[in-house]
Structure formats: C-alpha cells, structure tokens
Amino acid sequence: MKKLIIFDLDGTLAKSKSAIDKEMAILFQELLEISQVAIISGGDWPQFKKQVLDQIPIKSLLSKLSILPTCGTKFYQYDKKWIKLYEEQFSDDERKEILLNLNAAIKNSGIEIKKTRGNQIEDRGSQITFSALGQEAPLEEKKEWDSDFEKRKKIVLPLQKLLKDFSIGMGGTTSIDITKPGIDKAYGIAKLKEILKIDINEMLFIGDALFEEGNDYPARITGVKCIQVRDPEETKRIIETIIACSTITI
C-alpha cells in the first residue's frame, strides 16, 4: 500500500473538462479515507474546483488532498480553506518568446483547423496551453481530432527545438502544455516529496499520457511507480483494487 496516490485529471479521473461522475466521486472519497492523494494536471484552479472539489461532499477529507494545477507549477493544500503554497509565473519575456514560437509552430505545421470554440491559446500565468479546437469544443469532437497524438507532434517536435529551455508536453485530447524550464509533473512530484515528507518509493502515479512527449511522462523520470490508464473507467478499477488491498490483513 503506497502512502501517496497521485492522479492526472483529464482522461484519468474525468473526461476532458468534465466533472468526475458519481461513481468516481464515491471511490475518490473512499480512497481519501485510507491514503494521502494528489492531483497534478494541466488545468488551472477553476477546472480542479469544477471537476473534482465541488463533487466531494465530505470536506473534512480535503486535508489529505494536494492539488497541483498547471502541471505542478502551482500547489494548494487545505486547512479550513484552500491555501496556495507557491506559483511559478512566467516573466514577460518568457511569455513573449513562447507565444511567438508557438504561433509559428502552429502555422508551419500545416494542420488545418476549420472551426474553434473558445480560446485556442490560454495563458494560465505559470503555463501556456494550446487547445487545438478551442477550450469549449465538444468532447466528442476533441476525442476524434487527434486520438493518436500525431497531429500535435507536428507542432511539438519543432517547438521543442525552438523552445529548448521550456518543458512541452501533450495532454488531454487536443492540448499542448508549455511550462517553465524544469517545471513539470516531475517538479510537482519533487514538491510533494518535500512538502508531504513522503519518499518517492511510497508514491504511485496514475495517468493516461505516460508515453514520451505526453505531459504525464515526466513523472516516470522521478522513479515513482507509474500506471498508464486508457480512461476514467480503468482508473476506477485501479482505485477499487487499491481500496480492496488496504483491507486485507495477514
């Protein structure tokens, strides 16, 4: 039994930009009763609140939950209210460099995007996210657009050469996340170790983008035990297994 269970959000705990369903909310609550839990994802704080926190009725359990938005560039803990422990903001020069090269990489990729809904590029302060079809595109459209990640690779691979000093990863269904150099999910896991005083070998990371160039991939380099999932349904079965194993006595 690991002391800390760490999750990605979109594609792992919930469908993209959607709230966790009732079954997941119950399982997540049961997991909090037996273990420390953390969520590291590319979304910003409002997404975590909408997708997870508003769905958990027993607030007393929140003291065992750590929230790391924008791929670990922010860290929140609960003590009667949510407290932000740190935030790694871009400088103005970094922001300009990222936006200039991101727009160039999108243009040069040759990818045709006929219609977008909502913002395509979002500045989250400590992370800049490109959502190919826009932040408000329907989930079904997003799932079909780049299920094999090949379209986004046409943007990410040249972008990695242009922005060598930044961390770039693909997550969710259509997004590309850019953070400060070295500030990614590996950084977030290191912060969890430092703040919670839990060793790497006592952690488990669960995510849907643990492949190379995926935004969960940096978790692998920390040495933390990782489990790749296809979707939230598979995550539910893993949580059930963890809970079941915690009740076994010898």
Domain ranges of the chain: 4-88+183-246, 92-179
Is residue 62 within 8 Å of residue 80, measured between CB atoms? Answer: no
8 annotated among ligand-binding-site residues: yes
Is residue 145 within 8 Å of residue 130, measured between CB atoms? Answer: no
Q: In angstroms, what CA-CA distances link 180 with 47, 74, 100, 132, 172?
A: 21, 12, 15, 21, 19
Tell me how crowded residue 135 is: count the other CB atoms within 10 A of its CB: 17
Q: Using CA atoms, how far apart are residues 182 and 169, in angstroms rounded to an integer?
A: 12
The overall longest dimension of the chain from CA atoms, in Å, is: 60
Q: Using CA atoms, how far apart are residues 92 and 100, in angstroms rounded to an integer?
A: 12
Q: Which CATH number fits domain 92-179: 2.40.50.140, 3.30.365.10, 3.30.1240.20, 3.90.1580.10?
A: 3.30.1240.20
* Structure confidence at residue 59 (pLDDT): 83
* Structure confidence at residue 183 (pLDDT): 84
* Structure confidence at residue 1 (pLDDT): 84
Q: Angle at CA 40, nearest 5°, toward 38 and 45?
A: 100
Backbone angles phi, psi at 67, to 5 degrees: -115, 125
Q: Which of 8, 44, 146, 216 is the catalytic position?
A: 8
9-29 CB burial, b ≥16 within 10 A, e <16:
bbbbbbbbbebbbeebbbbbe
Q: Taking Cα atoms as reference points, which of 215, 43, 213 lies closest to residue 124?
A: 43
- Torsion sign (Cα): 45, 13, 173, 229: positive
* Structure confidence at residue 250 (pLDDT): 46
Backbone angles phi, psi at 194, to 5 degrees: -70, -45
Please list, in sequence order, all residues whose beta carbon lies within 8 angstroms of the beta carbon of residue 7, skipping any fewer than 6 positions away. 13, 37, 38, 39, 40, 205, 206, 207, 235
124 annotated among ligand-binding-site residues: yes
- Does residue 10 have an active-site annotation? yes
177 annotated among ligand-binding-site residues: yes
231 annotated among ligand-binding-site residues: no
Q: Which of 10, 44, 146, 216 is the catalytic position?
A: 10
Per-residue tokens: 8: 């990605």
pLDDT less than 50: residues of the chain: 250
Q: Using CA atoms, how far apart are residues 65 and 68, in angstroms rounded to an integer?
A: 10
Q: Using CA atoms, how far apart are residues 203 and 165, in angstroms rounded to an integer?
A: 28
* Structure confidence at residue 69 (pLDDT): 94
* Structure confidence at residue 103 (pLDDT): 95
DSSP, collapsed to helix, strand or coil, labels residue 158 as helix
Q: Which CATH architecture has domain 4-88+183-246?
A: 3-Layer(aba) Sandwich (3.40)
Per-residue tokens: 101: 């090269």
Is residue 86 within 8 Å of residue 103, measured between CB atoms? Answer: no
Q: Taking Cα atoms as reference points, which of 192, 196, 248, 246 lies closest to residue 224?
A: 192
The rounded radius of gyration (Å) of the Cα atoms in the chain is 18
